[in-house]
Structures are given as C-alpha cells and as structure tokens.
Structure 1
C-alpha cells in the first residue's frame, strides 16, 4: 500500500501568508511555549509533546518535549491532517489507521502509536499548526481529555497572539523612531539653512533691493533678480530694474494680495516689512520658489515722509520643503500610533505632562482626550494594590538599576473594572546630572493572557476530572500545616480514603460511568468536611483529607463515620443505581508523624489495615502496624527470589470421569515449599503474586512445567492449568501457551486452561476474543468456581466453554435443597451447551453419590486423591483408579480425619 499524502487546506495560500507574517518560524525556544509542552506531557502522561507549525513542505517545532529533532517533512506529519478542521484529531492506534499505518514515523523511530493534536486556530479558518501529544503505545482518549488538550491549544494561540502584538508594537516604535529622525534631520537642515543665510547676508550673497516710492521700478541686485526668476548673466554685478507690473507677473497669484497688504501695513505703521511668498521659477522649470523678503522704511530727514524701502530677499524654499516633509512625517507617525492595537505614552517628567495616544485611552473605554494628560491620571487609574510595585520599578529604571521599565499591573477602565496591562518604557532624555527628563513607552492589554495563566495555574494544581486539589497542593498544604504543628500550634489529622467496589462499577458500566461516580463522590466529600479541611484526589479512586485543626481524635473518627455514610448512599449513574463504600486510614500529627512522608505512610498503613479488616471501615494508625506491611514486603522479596531460583513446584490432583470409571486427567496446582517457613498456602502467596505482577512469570513457568510433565503421561490424559486475571491483562499469554505446547510436544487438546469469572469482568470483549483464538489452536477452556460471580450465565451464553467446574461451596452444602437445585441447573445448562461438569471438593461418599445423581460428569477432590507431586502422580496413573477403589481410599481417609478439607 502506498504512502498517504495529506490534502492541503482550501485556504492554504492565505494560511501560509498568515504564518509567515508572524515571523515565528525558526525562532529561538521560548519558556512559555515550552511550559505548555511540559504541562501537556505531565497532564496526559505521554512521552512526547509538540507545538508544531505547518510550513509549505515541512512541520517545524516551536516547542517540544521528549524529542530531539526540530521538525519533519510535511508529508509525514500527522499534524498536516490535524489542520484540516477546527476539531482535535485523535488517532488511538496509528497501525490501524490507513492514513498512518505505513508512515515511517510509525513503522520506524519514534514508533508512534497514539496521536492527539488540537489545531492552533489564529482566526476563523486559519490553522497554523497544532499542539499535539504522542505516545508509543495505543491508548484511548476521552472527551474530557480532548477538551483539556484544546484548552491548552488556546493557551498556545494566546502566546502567538501576544507575539503578533509585540511585532505590531515594534513596527509602531520603528515608525516613531523614523519620524523622530526626520524631525532631527529637519531641525538640522533648518539650522544649516539659517547658518548659510547668515553667511550669505554677511557676504552680500543675499538678494538686495531698494524701491523709490515715487518711481514705478524696483532696483534689484543680481542675486535678488535671480531669486525673482529673471535671467541674469553669470558674474554680473549690475543692478536690474524691474517694474512693479513685471514683478507682479512672477509672484504666485495666491500670494500677491498678501504681499501688497504687507507693503501697505509697513508704510502705515512704520514697521519693518517682512513677508514670505512664492515666485515662479525661470522659464523651462516647473513650480515656485519661496522667498523671505525684509524691508525697512526710509524717511526724509526733514519732512519725515517715507521716500523709499530698502530690503533683503532670502531663498527659503528648502526650509518650506523640509517643513512640509516634517508635517507629513508627523501625520504618518500620528496615524501609526493611533491605528496600532497598543497604547503609547510620552511623559515629560519635569512638568508631569503625559501624552496618551488615542488607543491608550480607547483600550480602557475612554474617548480620545477624555483622560487628563498628566501623570496623576496614571496614578489614579492604577490599581491601589499594584501602585507601589509600579512606582518602585520606575524608580529602579530612573536610578539606573534596570535598562528599561517593565511592569504588569491593573488599570481601571471607564466601566469601573480593572484590565491587566503590560507597561514598557525607557528614558530618552537626561539632564547633565543624569536625572531623567523624558520617558516614552507602550501599554499592551494582557487581560486575556492573565486569564489563560490563571487557567494554567488551576490545571497545574487541580484534578482535571473532579476539580479537587491534586497531589501538588496536597504536599504543599500538608507540609505547611505540619510545620505549624511542630511549632506547637495544635494537632492535625490525615485521612486516606480508598473506594470499595469502584473497579466493579467501572468495568461493568464503563469508564464514563466511573468518571461520573468519582465526580459525585468528590462532591459528597467536599460537602461533608469543614471549609478549613482540604479534600484532594490522589489518583484513581484514592482520596485524602487534611484536617488542619483537631481538638481531639474523637473528631477524626466522627468525620470518618460521616464520610463512610455519605459515600455509601446510592448513586445514579445514567439510570443505574449503584452503591460503593470506602475504607479510611487515619494518622494524627504530631503523634503519628511530624513530616508529610511519615504521616502519609502511616495513614496508608492504617488504610491497608482497615481494608483487610472489613470494607466500609476506618482504622487509626497504631505503632506496630507497619510490621505487617514489612512482612508482606519481605514475602514479596522472597517470592521474587523463588521465581528466579525455581523455588516453586506443581502438584497434580486427579479428575475422575464417572461414566467411564477412570482418571481422565489432572489439575496442576501451584505450591511454594519455603526453605524456612515450610509449605506456604496458595491463598497467601497467589494474591500477592497478582498484585506485584509476579503471577505472569509464575504462570508462564506453570504452563511449561505442566505441559512438559503431561507429555510423559500415557494415552489422552489431560492437564488443567489455572490462568490469572493479570496474565490476560499483560501481553504474551497466547505466545506463552504456544511456546509451552511446542517445547513439550503436548497435543493442544490435552491442555485445559481454567479461568474464573473475574478474568472476563476486566475486559470481556478482548478476553473472549483471546479465548476463541486459543480454542482455535485446539486448547480447551474451563470456567472455574462457577456460581460465585455476578453474571456467570451471561458469560456461558457468550463463550462455549468445554468444561464448567462447580464451586466447592455448592458441593459442601449439596444436601441443602437450594444448593442441590443450583447443581442440577448447572448440569442442565452444561448439557445444552455440550460442556462437561466437574464437581470440585468432593470429600465424602454422600457428596459423591449426590453429584452422580445430579448428573455431574467428573469428580475432583479428596475422594479421588489429594494433590500429588509429579512422581506420585506418575505412580497414581499406573495404579487402578476405579470408583470402588476410590471409595476405599475415601473411607480410609475419613477414618483418619473426619473433617478433611480440600487443598486449593
């Protein structure tokens, strides 16, 4: 099958443009993106998490956890599928998904099996990439987990939005910087122009003119004539007479009236004549030149009447051009500042005047110009709890202890609420004593980011399912309270709770019902304790309660009783009424421990003792309880050593076929002959082996040992081997059976695997499928201890067992009419299903006759034989095994022990 190539989004061109505009590809790692990856890895317990951005032909990792590469080709990326819609993409087992089954990332390193990716939606339809989690094992993914992943993806988008806003602010500041540079250049140009004009005037380079008021002409120096636009020979020093009519033709029509008005005003008021106006450039040139013209009224010394005007012309065209450029630059700057998404401010420290951009005011709900342009407005609007810190950070910058002013604080909006802002600023002007004169800066609205951070903090400290505080809060609260207890501030108690029968509900009604149950129990626990008590979920169905203030241990016991009663009330789980219980262990501080580790360990030991004593019970920790735990741990350690050193043995108990009056096989029973403790009973070490997982290597050893022994037996004698629930939960059972058969050469139909109903309860569909595969190999399947579970009949209907074994409790009480009726019913069902029926624990002649009469096909128990070693079993096979001789053995056994009990 060929490799699947992910399709492109319909808006791929627009999506790529948005991604590239962010300028985020190939940037350095950033702590807040990495923090989201770490949070996702811890929250979902996965080895790999990524913030992936999908480029033209690659996916690049902005943040990563548990992986070293920086990206992959796009055609291999799971995320290339995840960006096709807004919903999270979940692949619970990549090997079964045709899109990914042949993907090199699945068939090779890192061996992806599970993938969940939530798209990073910048705006409608624009999905930049994903926040994804990856595991090398298949796994399920609930709706609650999907929601949590999408929430974390929104956090990533919030940081990307912040990055985009920072780019916009940077662009606005760059535009402002360019405008300020234009202003400086203009000022410099003006200064240079002024200097040049001064030099020109001093060197008579300026245009000079004088006008006799009684004449129609104005005499102009060559430079003045050239400025007016007249043609002048180079090097000429002659004055040029220009009539008022000629002069008027060269003046800009819009300025002519203004110039004439200036003449009249100067003559009337006896003032210095000064005016700026435009004149046409010489023929062949377009446009106008700006002149600044000065004139002084000269009067007759005797009469005082004005006789002439002497003046000077300066070419100020360059100054006007610079001013126009400056005006345009200022307009561009104003537009950039007020069209940006962030507010800007400019504070004259010496006067207290502050310029606030329109955006600075509108982002707080005010109209432009509504806020007083003074520093006291900032003081009044800043949240009182944040003002001191903001002023302290300003002082640090003013006094040189920081390169810039950076502060996150709250500002009051016009509506009266408070928004979080990020203020940045830098001093741009100092006096000679290095005191700050002026500071400019920006405001960025980070209210949304703050809300996201609060959600992250809540996720980090609370259980996602129940909303209760988690282990992190538990450790911190317990540590803080015990520190107070050590200083003599009262007593405290720690209660550890474990739900009884929760696993049965979870397996029977499903995980959603189990989650609902945990949420309801959490609510009941919160409602039962005081406000000062701390209820936490430690994981699974384990809870803990810290009682920080305790006057007497009696209070802890009363609380435990209330908790047991509250938990034990019926629960409605989607129409199913169920009840669960709880066991509680209690440790008191300081008496039972002064550190969190010791107190928790002792409360857990007390919980272990409460569960061992009876369900729905509580128990206080007492000195010496940990000895039982230590004994259990020592037994587990010795069991591990026995597994490694072949310290276990199999005994074999015969099975008698009533219709043929002969032994048809044996059941293999595990025994532990301890070198110092003697024979340890199976009911003591089998549960421990299952809890520790040692039952898996033990079970594999028992299969190989039993098959090897049975292969030496004559005829068609069978061997039955018990298979534990744990062996079905772990991979490798089928391979272990095949390996045992191949190594021993035993025919598959001579091997019987005995399972109990508890095996089917774990995951009925998967277990029944596995049983069918084993049966197809020829192996026979027996249902052991029938009748002791909750739904045995349903399993008989779903899987055709070869043998049904009636539990010894029914055989022991077979003289009771009720027990006898159950035995008859089981025989009837087995007959209809074509299965044989074995009566277990037959120990008396009366029981023997009863099971024969009820129709049982096989008998197992002390009547036939006690469990035998392999050597004794071989001898037993060689001896006569008729029913009459079984009677003789039984009678002899009864004479020796009237109350013998069947071995497990």
Structure 2
C-alpha cells in the first residue's frame, strides 16, 4: 500500500509525523525537567525549615518551653503546601501536629505515608531522609531531633504537596508549547509548498515523460527546479536518444545475424513449448533434403524423423533439460533424409524464456551437419576418448607434486591443506558395469577439475577416492581452516549434483577429510594422505555430517551401516515409510490441523528411530527425496478425500533445513503441490528457526514462493534456539509451535514458557503448545495464552485409518 503513495502525500505526512514526534518528545522532556526543578527547590526549602525546627525543638526541650514548639508548628501550617507536620517521640506518638486532632495519636494509625521503620532508621543514624514520591506528587521528610528526656520529641515528620506547583508549571508549559507548535506548523506548511513546486511537481512531470521514452510522444517540459532534477531531465533525454539508437542497432544486428546464420550453413530452430510450434530455418530443412516451404513448423516434424535407435535417448535428454534436471542440451543423433537415408547432426539448444510461474516457454537451438565431415568424426572421437579418461592425474604424479610442495612450502609461510574425498559407489555398482563405473568416476574427476584454479591439484588416486592439494590457503591456521571447510562444502555440493548416464540418473555422496599443512612441520607424502584418509573415515559419523579435520587423537569412526542406507533408499522409492497424523486442536477441541509424521519399520518388524533415519537421510543426501516423497503422498491423500466430498483439516509437513536450502527443492515442492490443485492453506510446512536466521536475501524469495503457492508456513520448535523475534516480524507465518521441551518444564517453572508466549502474542499469531500430555498441562498453557494444543492428551500420532475415524463424519466412513 505504501509503495503506491504519491510523494505529494508521503513527504508532508512524514514531515508532519517527524515534527509531531520531536515536539511531543521535547514537551515530555521539559515537563520532566520542570517537575524535577520544582521538587529540588521545594526540598531545599524544606531542609532549611527542618534545620531551623531542629534547633528550636532541642533548645525548647532543654528549657521545657513547650509553647515555643507549638508556635513554630502553628507557623508551619501557614504554608498551604504542607499536608503533614508532626513531631514524634520514640513510640511514634504525635507530640505536636499541624492538625490538633492528631495530637497524642499514634502516627502509624493516622498518617498514611508514615513509615515506622524509616523513623527508627533515621533516629539511629542521625541522618535526615528527604525523598520525593512521584506517584503521590509529594515530598516526605524524616528529620532527627536529639531527645532531651524520655518521651521527648526525637523526629520531625513532614509531607509537602507538590501537585499545585506541578499543575501550575504544566499549564504554563502547555501554553508555551501550543504557541511553538502552531508557529512551527505554519512554517512546515510553507516549507512543504515550496518543496512541492521545487521538487515534487518536477518529478511528477519527469515520471509522466518517462512512460513515453523511446516513442515519438516523448517530450520533457520541466520548469526550473533543483540541479539534481535538471540533471535527471538531461539523463532522461539521453536515455531516449540512446534507446532510439539501440533500436536501430538491434534491427541492423538482426539482419546481420540472419546473414551470418545462413552463411555458416547451420540450421536454426525456435520451439514454442506452449503451442508446440517450431520455426525451422531454410538451412535446417535443406540438411534433410527439403525445400523452404515443404515442412510443417511443428515439434512432430523433428520428432518423427529421429532414428529409432536414437529417439528415446534424445527425447529423454531433452525432457531432462526442459524440466531442469540437467544444465544443458547437447546431442549427436541421426535424422531421416528425404531420400530415405539418415544424416548425423549435432543438436544444441538453450531455454530463453519462462512464464510468470517459472515454467519454460521458448527454446532456441542449432543443427550442424556432421555426417559428411571426417574432421568432425575425428573430433567427436577425441572428445569421447578424453571423457573416458577424464582429467585424471596418475597417483605417482600426484604424490610427486605433493612431495615437492611439502619440501618447498616452508619458504612461503602459507598454510595448505590436503582434502581426501571418498565417493560412495556402493548403491550404483549393481546398476553399472565396472567399465561404466570407471567412466562415471572419470566424468566426476573432469567435473571437479573444471571448477578449480591452478592453486588446487586434483587427482583420482584410487577407485572412488580423489585427492585435492590446496596450496597457499592463508597465513594463519584459523583462516586456513575456514577456507578449507568452505572448499569442502563446495566439493560436496558439486559431487552431489546428478549424473546422467544413458537412461540412468545417479546422485553420488561424498565424505571428506581435511589435513591442514603448516609451514613448519615436515611430513612424508604418504603420512599426509593417511591423515586425510583418517579424517575422512571420522567424517562419516553422524555428528560430523560427512566432513572432518584431522587431529592427533583422531580415532577411526565406524562406517554407517550400508544395508540400512540401502533400505532407506528403497523405502523412499517404494513408499514403505508409514504416514502418521497428530491432530492440533483449539481451546474448544476443534481439529484445526494435523502434523504429518514419518515412521519406518524394517522387514523384520524393527522400528527405526525417527532421529536415526532422518540423520541418515541428511548425511547421505536423501532428505530432499524423503520430503518430496511425503509431500506427494499427502497430496494424493487430500485429493482422494476431496473426490469423496471430504475436506480434511490442514496437513502440515516437516521440511528439513537441508532440503529447504537446496537450490531447486522449493520449485520441486511447489510443482508437486500444484499438480494436485490443492486449495490454499490446505497444505502447510513446518520450518525450524534456523531456516529463518540465515541470510534474508536467501530465505525471503523461497518464503514468497511458498506463500504465493498457497502454502501455510509454521515456525516450529520456537524456544529451542535463539527465539528470535525477527522470524515473527519479517516473514508471513501462519502459526508458531513451541518447542516440545516447553511442556516438560512447564510444571516446574512456567516463567520461560510465559516469556515465549508473551513475545509471540503481539504478532497476533496462533500459538501451538506441543507435547501436551495431561489436562493440567493444557490448562496451564491455556492460562499462559496458548490457543492450540498438540500431544498425547489430545491424541497420539494416528495411522491413516484412525485419522479417518477422527475427522470423517460417520456416514462417510462407509465410502472411505
């Protein structure tokens, strides 16, 4: 809304608001100062009065002159601001008072502001106590007097009313500020008018002119204004002129491009993915023996002429590129010639346009005839040969370079590192022959080599094991460690990018060990490699998530059980994971939503703990597949119930932080949801606080995509981490779920839960208490402000059949 406001409204409102804030702040500041000055002045007067009274009382008591004391007390009553003026003995009995009815009474019973403890403290210390009570707008004074005999006066107690003085000063201050505010408002209005004519009005004229830049209707008629506005006017005129020249150059370039294309003898194709229409250049048609007007411009024209042996592989390659699974489309295949024989062509294409939902809409490419050129055949054969061998450095050559670096690095003074990378090929060894597997690893070596500079030496030293010698990392160990860890993270991401080999698609998992190399210690190359290998083995453990540094006390860590990892992959692929549903209800017991939970039981009946198989999936790159699998199954379930006329409550899915941070996960997730055409807010995702505390530039676009797709967003486990209020302020959340440990600590100490709930309440978000296991817990959470509840007191995690019984009306159960 604010982005559409005109400067004509926005600037005056902002200036007036700022002026009001400043004037109001100054008023309250001066009001506070006036009160303080009044109180200080009154306290000074009281001190002088009490000092005089102390001397009079002590002398009068010594002379047994009681009348003199009564006269002084009577004089004190002439001050209209004095409310209480009494002289007390050690028993708090009032000996003299400005009101006769109080005499001989106990001060505790008749004087509200009197404090006997303060009385005795002042008498014992011999030091007067004069304090200002801002709430009662009064001054209280306890002044000690030396008692000359038992039962004599020992304290003067006084209360003086500040309210009349404060009221008078406040009235004068308000009158003065009204005059100042009125004069300032007039000056501000005048300044705003000047600002409109000098700045805002010229900007409006420039904005109107900018809509016609590059067209004959473009004119600039800006009156005299600020130098910056005139400079902008000049720049807009220059843009108009440059745009005109650019359009002419573009037209000229298009003509030259068409000539260059025809001159290069390459065929051009332009495919509209929405309609299936394909532009085929004359040269493209000529390659397969047709005249310019003889072939229909349609996708089937090309598809029908693919060689039967090449067709499926080419279409698969094209589909993978269009769907975003691969980064490029390149293919060498055969097309049917008009005369009946086949010609070899090199086909390369690129997506150039997408719709507002991110779906590709246009693709352009070229065809190159390579069937009649022996030179092209030789080049292709050489490329295949290089791909087979990869950019592999022999182990002997690598060890020689490592030895040379270890012996010469002392002179440089820089830290280096050796990274040992193990690629897990166990899961794909059954699908590929040994030769194909070696070729795949060689392609991985080529991919890794292409990403790094000469400062990094890459070698495939063993089957599935790569070594990276990183030179000149940093001059100190801490920075070298950080950079080595960043490089290791990049290596794992590159390795886990899918490989496409024939009809197969593979995702590899890498474990890394890092051995830092300082400029002092001299080591044998074999020892360095062994240390990095030990770190790699240690990095396979769950707490290191696939990457670890070498240290002297390092012990070999056990490998994750391969059979369990294989079983998890099959369980995801074959939908063997069980889906459980735990309801979330409001304070009236109505089911508002249900959290979808995954459970895994092995064939022998053993139940794998959730934390164990989720950790295994995250360490081995399966968690995104797991999350997408659960998403699709839940969408299918919602669609089935909708076809039966049943609307389920909102189902929320737990999305791993690792999944959320993957480059294309959110797009895949949204594509799955949209394919089932679910209603808005029918599906939700639960994200941990750590997701929102990463870079806002990274998180915000993904959150916006989810919201635009109608996905409800829940902040999960609030209170387990930093409990950052920025998460609640910056993102469009649907609800907040407290961490389950809040319920555990509730009965012993509710202060933490109360603080969390009070922090969320100003954001007007539903607050879900998790792990509620008793009626007492639910009642306490309700008292603290929770609006929704989840836990065993409501319902355990239910199977699909039990969930049906809970949410479906009885007559519908027969048809479910």
Q: Does TM, scored on the shorter chain, surpass 0.5? A: no
What range is the shorter-chain TM-score in?
Answer: 0.3 to 0.5
| Structure exhibiting the larger radius of gyration computed from Cα positions | 1
- Structure number with higher strand proportion: 1
